[in-house]
Amino acid sequence: MLRIYYILLVFILLHCSEKKDIYKIPLSSFNVGISLTKNHLFLREYKRYLVISSKENNELESLRLKDDNGTGANSYLYDAGERYIIIDCDGTWYSIDKESGRINLIGKFWMKLPPTTYLGTFSLTSTKHKVKFIKEENIKLNDIYKYGGG
């Protein structure tokens, strides 16, 4: 009986390890990506991180975003002149400096109009449990701002 408990414990520890799936898009002198870490053994829940990495794939900076509880937490990327803007699904805005890749919190806004130059959306795929970067059309504010409220 004790042997079964040890086997079960090893199984749980192996499946709860810090395995990260990351999707990166190349920008000027660095990559921007969303990293996923499994948050629950059986459910489709993930911790999400905004990751800035060098062209050599060395992580420069990362920041935890709103967790995905299985309903699809998307992040939207915009070009705003001297910086990139990430709008997370809970209304949190982050800027990414185009020169250094440094992430800065701008603030939490609800239903604020995004910048005009939309680059794409980081979205969780339904089949592979991975993040993809897609270009959506006709995005509404309700699509961007899913969780939170003001």
Query: Which H/E stretch holds residue 8?
Result: helix 2-15
pTM, full prediction: 0.78
Stretch 63-76: mean pLDDT: 82
Q: Is residue 16 part of a domain?
A: no
Are 76 and 139 in contact by the 8 Å Cβ rule? The answer is yes
Q: How many CA atoms lie within 13 A of 28 on its CB side?
A: 11
Quote the pLDDT of residue 21: 47
Stretch 101-122: mean pLDDT: 92
Separation CA 29–CA 20 (nearest Å): 23
For residue 102, what are the domain limits? 23-144
Q: Is residue 129 part of a domain?
A: yes
Q: Is residue 8 part of a domain?
A: no
Q: How sure is the predictor about 34, in pLDDT bands with cuts at 50, 70 and 90?
A: confident
Q: How sure is the predictor about 102, in pLDDT bands with cuts at 50, 70 and 90?
A: very high
Q: Is residue 95 part of a domain?
A: yes
Q: Is residue 5 part of a domain?
A: no
Q: Is residue 150 part of a domain?
A: no
- How many domains, the chain? 1
Non-local (6+) Cβ contacts of 20 within 8 A are: 35, 36, 37, 49
Residue 57 DSSP code: -
Quote the pLDDT of residue 4: 59
